[in-house]
């Protein structure tokens, strides 16, 4: 048994002494409570089946995903069995059980309890989301070769014990800028897979900017046929058709990820302005832009056509977005006067409400006093921000993305070829060692919605490059968003992070081998 456990935890700790004990701890984000049962372990075999309650469709969704995850490497059939009556008894099924009977008081909506002993594995939760989160933990407790897309020999052992877990913040997000460089459907799907592994549950897509417009809008077709053509550096861009966007939304939903679309307004709009003469104050469309400056473009604030345009876009984007949020940007509108900015936002914010969505905007839009319940995404680096304190007092929620901590497009150090450095270098430790609840000490904890790791892509032309910037920083941001503050511990984290590397290797992720981490 000991050697089998060591297989599971083989890369897990630098301190070999606790090897067999520690493998149940090798989970990112760190769970709330971990109780190893040394000596116990479950072994996945060709006889293992997955059990769900007969009528539980959300459990069915998770069971299907679990089977999809485990099948390629194990080669096992892993049949899904529907127990005849609603399950009430002990864990006597002998397989992996997914049960929607967890205690809500203890686990909340997205938490789970995972129990592993010699005979069975049971995940309990109150919702399919909770089961899904438990499944991702289970996945990380299997040997890294479970991520292989071809059959491997195992043995597929899982260390025994019990994990009880629930998220600190409901909102744990990543952003991908598909405007500066276009990233196609397959790339976005792959990024979603990475997010799911670390229980990140929102993906914000930055769908428009000066350099490109990436989402089909039927009422304004030139946005994509002209505005989608280009990207930074002058290489061909691209865009998502409505059908492709729907495919992304569905793929994400199946992995517990909600898409948050962003149409950046009223600045960052050169691609739109370039597509239609009539959107410009002087009636003349500017040429496409393929550089990386910001702050030079603005919609024409006093023209009625501007608001027909914005309403059409918001209506169409809202209609293809099942999630609650619509991000309207609002950042770096340096070519829009403050008075115009407020005038613009006061007309646009009601449109977001009209089409049934909650508005999200970058820091600056707080000055337009968005309605109660709207989300302000803090991207500045200062630890004091009176506008955020005021926004919180006005009933807004603050989503934390301070650029010096959460921007994973920042270079790791002066030798990093990719990325930008305007917010400073950001090491793996820097991006991990901060607390979203206390970064702005004057904003009350209850106002903090969660955390987001933006990935701007001025310098990132393909997903391989995106992955190099995301790994290993993204799992750290996921952990500070999910795990209780008491579990944030850099020394322990760097060990657990190192243990993820064999998994990334199986997944074909090219990551940065930071000297701060004791890689195997
Ligand atoms: C600032 S921060 C921007 C983006 C850039 C990014 C690069 C913010 C809301 N806007 O337009 O892409 O810096 O790191």
Tokens representing 368?
């337009």
Q: Is 128 helix (H, G, I), strand (E, B) or coil?
A: helix
In ligand 1, the atom with minimum distance to the C-alpha of 180 is: 12
* Bond before 48 cis per omega within 30 degrees: no
CA of 325 to the centre of ligand 1 (A): 20
- Tokens 């991990």 -> residue: 432
pLDDT digits (tens, 9 = 90+) for 385-424: 999 999 999 999 999 999 999 999 999 999 999 999 999 9
Contact 145, 506 (CB under 8 A): yes
Fold of the 171-486+496-507 domain: TIM Barrel (3.20.20)
In ligand 1, the atom with minimum distance to the C-alpha of 410 is: 14
Q: What gap in Å lies between CA 89 and CA 82, rounded to an integer?
A: 15
Nearest alpha carbon, ligand 1 atom 12: 456
In ligand 1, the atom with minimum distance to the C-alpha of 403 is: 2
- Tokens 């901590």 -> residue: 405
Residues contacting 274, CB < 8 A, separation 6+: 226, 227, 285, 286, 287, 288, 289
Q: What is the pLDDT of residue 56?
A: 80
Q: What gap in Å lies between CA 227 and CA 269, rounded to an integer?
A: 10
Query: Known catalytic residues?
Result: 332
Q: Strand order in 96-99's β-sheet? A: 33-44, 156-165, 112-116, 121-124, 96-99, 50-53, 80-83
CA of 312 to the centre of ligand 1 (A): 26
- CA distances to 231, 380, 381 from 407, in Å: 21, 10, 10
Nearest alpha carbon, ligand 1 atom 11: 294
Ligand 1 pocket by C-beta < 6 Å: which residues?
Answer: 294, 331-332, 362, 379, 403, 407, 409, 420, 456, 458
CA of 482 to the centre of ligand 1 (A): 25
Residue 127: which of 90, 105, 102, 95 has the closest Cα? 102
**pLDDT lower than 70: segments of the chain:** 1-22, 84-93
Nearest alpha carbon, ligand 1 atom 4: 456
pLDDT digits (tens, 9 = 90+) for 449-484: 999 999 999 999 999 999 999 999 999 999 999 999
In ligand 1, the atom with minimum distance to the C-alpha of 177 is: 12
From 232, 425, 456, 459, mutation site for ligand 1 pocket: most ligand atoms within 8 A of C-beta:
456
Domain with CATH 3.30.379.10 in the chain: 2-165
From 176, 177, 204, 332, mutation site for ligand 1 pocket: most ligand atoms within 8 A of C-beta:
332
Domain with CATH 3.20.20.80 in the chain: 171-486+496-507
Give the CATH number of domain 2-165. Answer: 3.30.379.10
CA of 457 to the centre of ligand 1 (A): 9
- Quote the DSSP letter at residue 147: G
pLDDT digits (tens, 9 = 90+) for 151-210: 999 899 999 999 999 999 999 999 999 999 999 999 999 999 999 999 999 999 999 999
Nearest alpha carbon, ligand 1 atom 8: 331
């Amino acid at each position: 048994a000991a050697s089998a456990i060591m297989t599971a935890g083989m890369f897990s700790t630098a301190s070999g002494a606790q090897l067999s004990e520690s493998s149940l701890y090798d989970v990112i984000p760190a769970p709330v409570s971990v109780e190893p049962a040394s000596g116990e372990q479950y072994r996945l075999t060709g006889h293992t089946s997955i059990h769900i309650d007969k009528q539980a469709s959300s459990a069915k969704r998770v069971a299907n995903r679990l089977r999809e995850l485990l099948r390629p490497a194990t080669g096992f059939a892993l049949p899904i069995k529907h127990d005849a009556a609603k399950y009430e008894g002990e864990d006597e099924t002998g397989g992996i059980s997914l049960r929607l009977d967890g205690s809500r008081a203890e686990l909340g909506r997205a938490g789970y309890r995972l129990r592993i002993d010699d005979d069975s594995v049971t995940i309990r939760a109150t919702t399919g989301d909770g089961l899904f989160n438990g499944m991702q933990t289970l996945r990380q407790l299997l040997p890294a070769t479970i991520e292989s897309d071809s059959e491997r020999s195992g043995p597929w052992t899982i260390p025994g014990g019990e994990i009880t877990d629930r998220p600190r913040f409901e909102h744990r997000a990543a952003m991908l800028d598909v405007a500066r460089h276009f990233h196609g459907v397959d790339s976005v799907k792959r990024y979603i897979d990475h997010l799911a592994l670390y229980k990140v549950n929102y993906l914000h897509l930055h769908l428009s900017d000066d350099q490109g417009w990436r989402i089909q809008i039927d009422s304004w077709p030139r946005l994509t046929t002209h505005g989608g053509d280009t990207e930074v550096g002058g290489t061909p861009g691209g865009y998502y058709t409505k059908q492709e966007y729907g495919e992304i939304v569905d793929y994400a939903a199946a992995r517990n990820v909600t898409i948050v679309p962003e149409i950046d307004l009223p600045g960052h709009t050169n691609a739109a302005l370039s597509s239609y003469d009539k959107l410009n104050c002087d009636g003349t469309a500017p040429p496409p832009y393929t550089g990386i400056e910001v702050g030079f473009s603005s919609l024409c604030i006093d023209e009625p056509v501007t608001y027909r345009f914005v309403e059409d876009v918001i209506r169409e984007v809202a209609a293809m977005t099942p999630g609650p949020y619509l991000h309207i940007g609002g950042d770096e509108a340096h070519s829009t006067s403050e008075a115009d900015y407020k005038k613009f936002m006061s007309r646009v914010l009601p449109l977001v409400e009209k089409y049934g969505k909650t508005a999200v905007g970058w820091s600056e839009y707080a000055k337009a006093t968005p309605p109660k319940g709207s989300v302000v995404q803090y991207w500045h680096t200062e630890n004091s921000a009176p506008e955020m304190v005021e926004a919180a007092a006005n009933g807004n929620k603050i989503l934390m993305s301070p650029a010096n901590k959460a921007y994973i497009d920042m270079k790791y150090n002066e030798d990093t070829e990719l990325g930008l450095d305007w917010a400073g270098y950001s090491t793996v430790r820097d991006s991990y060692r901060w607390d979203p609840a206390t970064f702005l000490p004057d904003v009350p904890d209850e106002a903090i919605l969660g955390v987001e790791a933006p990935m701007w892509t001025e310098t990132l032309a393909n997903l391989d490059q995106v992955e190099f910037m995301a790994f290993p920083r993204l799992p750290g941001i996921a952990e500070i968003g999910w795990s209780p503050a008491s579990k944030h511990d850099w020394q322990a984290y760097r060990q657990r992070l190192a243990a993820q590397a064999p998994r990334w290797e199986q997944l074909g992720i090219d990551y940065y081998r930071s000297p701060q981490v004791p890689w195997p």
